Amino acid sequence: MKYQPTMNRQNMRQFIEEILSGLTPNGGDIFTTDETANASHVVAVCHKWSRKCGKVTKRGTWGWYFARFARCVTDGVLPHTVISAAGNIKLPFYSWSTLADFTCPGAGDCLEFCYTFTGWRYPAALLRQLQNTILIRHQRGPIREAFRALPTDAILRLYVDGDIENTDQLAFWFGLLNQRGDVQAYGYSKSWEVFLALADLPAPDNYCLNISSGSKYDGDDDLLQQITDLPVTRGGFHAVQIGNKGPDWSIKSDKRWASTDYHTKVREALRLLSGTKKVFSCPGKCGECLPNGQHACGQRDFVVPIAIGAH
């Protein structure tokens, strides 16, 4: 392979596809001290790409991260934490993510503005999502352990990146949440048909679903009503088009959160989209948008449509 120290979007997709396409249900666990066909496959692909990127001894490079991922698989340890710890200023909750697009059966126009792909410029972000995608598909023990280790009354955002792929995965998360009624979980999903397929399954009281816009189902009013009527559903969360710049903000800048012009435009666009007068513009920092430390996206009784500017 031709040497190149960095990865572009095409390279990233090729790497992911090589990893995921070579895994088989009977290939054995990946993150185990026992050598398995699946583990050997992941190691081989990571070594291939570490040689392509080079600089394997320079911490923080793509080559170093690929080599580290392979070494962790060989040693039977997880390269990254499964559930990310709380503490981020924008997301002060625990969180779980998988690979966007590769795990998004309901994706539509959202793929044109998905912020996840920007985050892939950081090797650790992409490889954490890859690890979790492998785990949810092939080896769920570490997920159970990480979930059960959450502190009492933890708030968990399920799928900051990626989405629920099928009913088996949704039933898995519902089962865990039913075991821990103290954990309050919420998420945004475009996997409408997955949720509807399990409509008769008793849903946990501690999960709140936000219907995410930009799905392939947009425009299907009958399906939208069905997903809205589910007991786990709070309401819609929309990415609205308002242009790239205002007088004192840029859509890709955090300055927009403090701009009254930005929020005015978001509310105007959401009123037009939803046909309702009462709407809510996301303030940008989870956990601070409602009184008493509550957050709108995690409250089932907060049925007002919520939006951000598409970025």
Cα(54)–Cα(44) distance, integer angstroms: 15
- Structure letter (DSSP) for residue 1: -
The answer to whether residue 299 scores a pLDDT higher than 60 is: yes
For position 89, what pLDDT does the model report?
59
Lowest mean pLDDT among 45-59, 85-99, 114-128, 177-191: 85-99
The answer to whether residue 131 scores a pLDDT higher than 90 is: yes
The answer to whether residue 245 scores a pLDDT higher than 80 is: no
Cα(142)–Cα(56) distance, integer angstroms: 27
The answer to whether residue 66 scores a pLDDT higher than 70 is: yes
The answer to whether residue 176 scores a pLDDT higher than 90 is: yes
Mean pLDDT across 206-214: 95
Lowest mean pLDDT among 17-26, 185-194, 253-262, 295-304: 253-262
* 80 and 124 Cβ atoms separated by less than 8 Å: yes
For position 111, what pLDDT does the model report?
73
The answer to whether residue 110 scores a pLDDT higher than 80 is: no
Lowest mean pLDDT among 20-29, 77-86, 249-258: 249-258
For position 87, what pLDDT does the model report?
65
The answer to whether residue 3 scores a pLDDT higher than 60 is: no
For position 202, what pLDDT does the model report?
86
The answer to whether residue 238 scores a pLDDT higher than 60 is: yes
Q: What does the mean pLDDT of the chain come to?
A: 92
The answer to whether residue 77 scores a pLDDT higher than 70 is: yes
Looking at the chain, the number of H-run helices and the number of E-run strands are 10, 7
Nearest to 146 by CA among 134, 156, 159: 156
How is residue 269 written in tokens?
């666009």
Tell me: the pLDDT tens digits for 41-63? 999 999 999 999 998 999 999 99
For position 229, what pLDDT does the model report?
96
Cα(68)–Cα(71) distance, integer angstroms: 5
How is residue 236 written in tokens?
């819609």
For position 127, what pLDDT does the model report?
97
The answer to whether residue 2 scores a pLDDT higher than 70 is: no
The answer to whether residue 11 scores a pLDDT higher than 70 is: yes
Q: Sign of torsion, CA 122 67 5 51?
A: negative
* 146 and 136 Cβ atoms separated by less than 8 Å: no
Q: Sign of torsion, CA 80 81 87 89?
A: positive
How is residue 41 written in tokens?
């496959």
* 217 and 108 Cβ atoms separated by less than 8 Å: yes
- Could you please report the per-residue DSSP string of 200-235? TSPPPTTEEEEEESSBTTTT-HHHHHHHHTSTTEEE
CA angle 167, 73, 11 (to 5 degrees): 75
More confident residue, 119 or 129: 129
